[in-house]
Structure 1
């Protein structure tokens, strides 16, 4: 079960990793809705949409296409993202994720499910709320294996991100950003995945499915779809949820980019 703050984050950040997994895969987008009748956000306008509802409808369609390419089942929660000015609280998201977890896993134990959660690199408020809500909900359910993934394109906008042939990025770049999670759950085990040509071809097709986002993303993140560019490498950290429980107030100090 992979948690995506927005309708593209998992595909861009961990699409290659999804291809290594077996069994049922669900990609749950936490901020997959918009306030009724809301005007377009600044990002919506950059993508050419005249209303928030038109943007969400198009992005959900794109996400369904991308998930089909990745062999995953899309699940879209209705919460608006921070750009619309009415984001849900971490507590509300944690409750919603607990319900979604029960629906998706069914009778299967949470300890038998692998969870992928954004590390919130880049300090985007939606990513932070998604991460903290997920950690809260999963710890309460005594979930087993959890990996934090490096958020793209934020993570690769750094001189430390590996290029072609690199084995691993410098962990120091993210140590401070992951400090709150380390405080709660202990040291994190890192894993770097460099995609093969075959795996990259699949991820590349999935990324192209988000057609409405590509032009403004290129302006923001540069040549992120290069053959040997940043999306060819994925980075995750393993979190041991059984070593501690979240203690922080995740609503404090939320920033944005």
Structure 2
């Protein structure tokens, strides 16, 4: 875990990714702004397999409950939510083409959030496995590269970071884009503080009752393993 400044804008693809990947680090300081991208709801009365596994009859019921779960989870950690209105991939096929999220649309929304809230640092997902995560990663990189004054940390998304080869592929992609990724090995907090943060993260994770139901009792063990981060920097010219 690391210490996250209250002046950080943490970008989360879905309603749980920030807590699953960074919850113990968020618990170190109150006030961090967590910007979740995919919190929109389709106008049509949509029922998806994932929402059914989570115990919901339709998307409207699911998104209402999931936002409430997220507010409870972030409240445990002392973080502040900011919700964008993009549709996640399970809803896109049931919405007009104009509603389809793109890296450009998401980047514009993130740039607006940066302009409004004026953070001094960004935390962005590495964009592992899930198409929504890859979209947000690309958009977040674009927003960051337009703000060279901001420091940037990439976080490994729990549940996906353990999949074979995904992290290595992302690091290659970053290098090809002119971005250096260096493991962030921060000094660990004192034992008592680490235990306190881990306990808060566990409480926050448990707030996502619907999602944990779908993962099953052993399907989310990875979220409680040590959080991992990368310092992202523009590559030096001439390399």
* Partner SS for 1:126: helix
Distance in structure 2 (CA, Å) of the matches to 1:119 and 1:210 = 22
Distance in structure 1 (CA, Å) of the matches to 2:58 and 2:12 = 22
Distance in structure 1 (CA, Å) of the matches to 2:166 and 2:84 = 32
User: What's the offset of the Cα at 1:67?
Assistant: 0.7
Question: Is residue 132 of structure 1 aligned with residue 125 of structure 2?
Answer: no
Tell me if structure 2 keeps the 8 A contact 1:142–1:242.
no
User: What's the offset of the Cα at 1:14?
Assistant: 0.7
Pick the aligned partner of 1:206 from 204, 207, 231: 204
**Residue of structure 2 equivalent to 1:181:** 174
Distance in structure 1 (CA, Å) of the matches to 2:171 and 2:144 = 18
**Cα gap change, 1:31 to 1:48, in 2 (>3 Å):** same
Tell me if structure 1 keeps the 8 A contact 2:110–2:140.
yes
Tell me if structure 1 keeps the 8 A contact 2:180–2:235.
no
**Residue of structure 2 equivalent to 1:235:** 228
Distance in structure 2 (CA, Å) of the matches to 1:197 and 1:2 = 23
Q: How many residues align?
A: 218
- Counterparts of residues 49-60 of structure 1 (less than 5 Å): 49-60=56-67
**Cα gap change, 1:64 to 1:201, in 2 (>3 Å):** same
* Partner SS for 1:48: coil
Pick the aligned partner of 2:90 from 75, 83, 87: 83
Structure 1 unmatched runs, 5+ = 159-171, 245-257
Superimposed CA distance per residue, residues 133-179 of structure 1 (whole angstroms, 9 cap, x where no aligned partner): 01101211224211111011111356xxxxxxxxxxxxx76222321
Distance in structure 1 (CA, Å) of the matches to 2:233 and 2:24 = 23
**Cα gap change, 1:230 to 1:63, in 2 (>3 Å):** closer
User: What's the offset of the Cα at 1:217?
Assistant: 1.6
Question: Is residue 93 of structure 1 aligned with residue 93 of structure 2?
Answer: no
**Residue of structure 2 equivalent to 1:43:** 50
Pick the aligned partner of 2:35 from 28, 34, 41: 28
Q: Report runs of 4+ in structure 1 exceeding 6 Å deviation.
A: none
Tell me if structure 2 keeps the 8 A contact 1:13–1:149.
yes
Question: Is residue 2 of structure 1 aligned with residue 2 of structure 2?
Answer: no
* Partner SS for 2:184: strand
* Partner SS for 1:117: strand
* Partner SS for 1:27: strand
User: What's the offset of the Cα at 1:6?
Assistant: 0.3
**Cα gap change, 1:17 to 1:241, in 2 (>3 Å):** farther
Per the normalisation by structure 2, the TM-score is 0.83
